[in-house]
Chain A
Amino acid sequence: MMTALRQYFEVCGELLYWLFVAPFRGKPWRLGHTFAQIVRIGVHAVPMSALTALTIGVVLAMQSAAQLAKLGATMYVPGLVSSSLVRELAPLITAVIVIGRSGSAVTAELGTMKVSEEIEALEVMAIPPMSWLIVPRFLAMVIMMPLLTVFGIYVGLAGGWLISHFSLHMNTAYYVNHALQYVELRDVGIGMLKSGVFGVLVVTIACSIGLNVSGGAEGVGLATTRSVVVSLLGVFIANAILTALFFF
């Protein structure tokens, strides 16, 4: 546990150097690698995020409609869907999808590179693995996580609209107006802040565990599982803390 924490903070420390100091010492970010990672980590996660957000939006609308109907208050469904999505569910569900899809892939890829001596080869070729492998993944994750969250909010709202329009017979303008009425700009900002924090947590945990893999193929498998579990725990705990700070 202590060793893992030490390794995590070592990776974070090095990452900070390569993010904020190295570019001013003639070692710029590798933008080509970053764009490639944006596609792999973010763009390829769009279909899965969309499907998940759509079902969450639909379920949220159905559950809230079922309860609010007892009070004759189904007009509040759009607001409930939008505020839930923006404040909590979109950042959280997007993070869960990214952990399962991209975080695990980052750990598995780095772990495989570690056990097959590829990372050592980079070091011996005087190509810093932090600059070549980690910084592009970090930048891609912190850029794409909020974007995927915004996308998730839109798709989730579309899911809520499906139920509101076809089952509760609300017209589209009414749904949009009420959905927007219950969301403030501050909520959107905090939702984005959450997704940014989740992105940092997911990518640093995935990279730290991936870079410290040992034990061949079995080690890579165990590390990937550990990466997913630790990332999920980290994101849920961070979400609770951020919600307490900003909404409670």
Chain B
Amino acid sequence: MSSQLPNAPAGEPIIEVDSLVRHFGSQTVLNGVSFKIYAGDTFVIMGGSGCGKSTLLRHLIGTEKPTSGSIKVFGREITTMRHGEMQKLRGRYGMLFQSGALLQSLTVAENVALPLVEHTKLDAGLIDTVVKMKLEQVGLTGHGHKKPSEISGGMKKRAALARALALDPPLVFSDEPTAGLDPIMTAVVDELTQRLTQKIGATVVVVTHDMNSVFRIGTRIIMLGTGAQQGKIIAQGTPEEIRANPNPAVQQFINGEAEGDAGDDSGGHLYRDSLLGGHARTGLLSKS
């Protein structure tokens, strides 16, 4: 499988992953993953539960080390990078966590201000102004004084987005940004992510299994397999190319069907089986 997506933009890739392998004990979670992400992409990593997409993201942000393979970010190899250099590189990242990961001991405004306080020499007044502006951009004006425990799930995600974009980073990672949100709030977070990252010209890497989000925001997509195809890229391309992909596993995943071959090109196992631990096949959860 080619390491470069079809119709890839010209220029040097911002992220280049080559033959990435990760084992946890005897389990292979990522198996020879290769792809490139170019400037301005909204790059979506999708796949079923347990396919390794969050693990892949953690390798991209440098909090996990691979068993083998190479990851270059802004042209620099991060798998062998020293901690101090990695810290400097992370200053150019923004990260939106699945749970928001706002620091509970700080207010919403203090959370958004944190990267500015830590990584800039702006005075307190200017930081306050920037924080107000960021909160306004995500529709949280007047909520800055609240603790994360006092706001709703959607507001937490938006506050986390404001924090991730506080330094106007050129690269933004997002792990299941719309998990647990209702469809309207999902659309709001997607639209905000797209609008705000386009405004600062950021490249975005999103991990999700929400198909509406995938096709709403994705400009380039890869899908990781499960089962016999665990940790391998089973489809990649633009949203149109993914929609038209003939792989039954991809079509099953896109259409959200219980029966099919997702995760196993051989058709020997059902994706549903792997999720249900084999109960579907033994009839424990069948209608009859």
B97 in complex: contacting residue of A112, A113, A120, A127, CB < 8 Å = A120
Q: In the bound complex, how far is the Cα of B104 from the Cα of A128, in angstroms?
A: 17
Residue of B nearest to A125 (CB): B115
Cβ-based interface call for B123 (8 A): no
Contact in complex: B63, A123 (CB < 8 Å): yes
Contact in complex: A124, B90 (CB < 8 Å): yes
Cβ-based interface call for A171 (8 A): no
Q: How many chain B residues touch the partner (CB < 8 A)? A: 20
Contact in complex: A120, B118 (CB < 8 Å): no
Q: In the bound complex, how far is the Cα of B173 from the Cα of A118, in angstroms?
A: 16
Q: How far is the CB of A216 from chain B (nearest CB, A)?
A: 12
Contact in complex: A117, B63 (CB < 8 Å): no
Q: In the bound complex, how far is the Cα of B251 from the Cα of A246, in angstroms?
A: 75
Which chain B residues numbered 35 to 76 have a C-beta less than 8 Å away from chain A?
Answer: 61, 63
Contact in complex: A121, B63 (CB < 8 Å): no
By DSSP majority rule, is chain A's interface helix, strand, loop, or mixed?
A: helix
From A113, A121, A122, A128, name the one whose CB has the most chain B CB atoms within 10 angstroms: A121
B103 in complex: contacting residue of A121, A123, A124, A128, CB < 8 Å = A121
Contact in complex: B99, A127 (CB < 8 Å): no
Residues on B with beta carbons closer than 8 Å to the beta carbon of A177: none
Which chain B residues numbered 64 to 107 have a C-beta less than 8 Å away from chain A?
Answer: 87-88, 90-91, 93, 95, 97-99, 101-104
From A122, A123, A124, A127, name the one whose CB has the most chain B CB atoms within 10 angstroms: A124
Contact in complex: B97, A125 (CB < 8 Å): no
Contact in complex: B95, A121 (CB < 8 Å): yes
Residues on B with beta carbons closer than 8 Å to the beta carbon of A126: 87-88, 90-91, 93, 118-119
Contact in complex: A117, B99 (CB < 8 Å): yes
Residues on A with beta carbons closer than 8 Å to the beta carbon of B101: 116-118, 120-121
Cβ-based interface call for B192 (8 A): no
Q: In the bound complex, how far is the Cα of B63 from the Cα of A121, in angstroms?
A: 10
Given contacts A117-B101, A121-B101, 6 further A-B contacts (CB under 8 A): A117-B98, A124-B90, A124-B173, A126-B90, A127-B118, A128-B87
Task: Return 10 A-B CB contacts under 8 Å, by A number.
Answer: A117-B99, A118-B103, A121-B102, A122-B103, A123-B63, A123-B90, A125-B90, A125-B115, A125-B118, A127-B114
| 10 A-B pairs with least C-beta separation | A121-B101, A117-B101, A126-B90, A124-B95, A126-B87, A117-B97, A126-B91, A127-B118, A118-B101, A125-B115
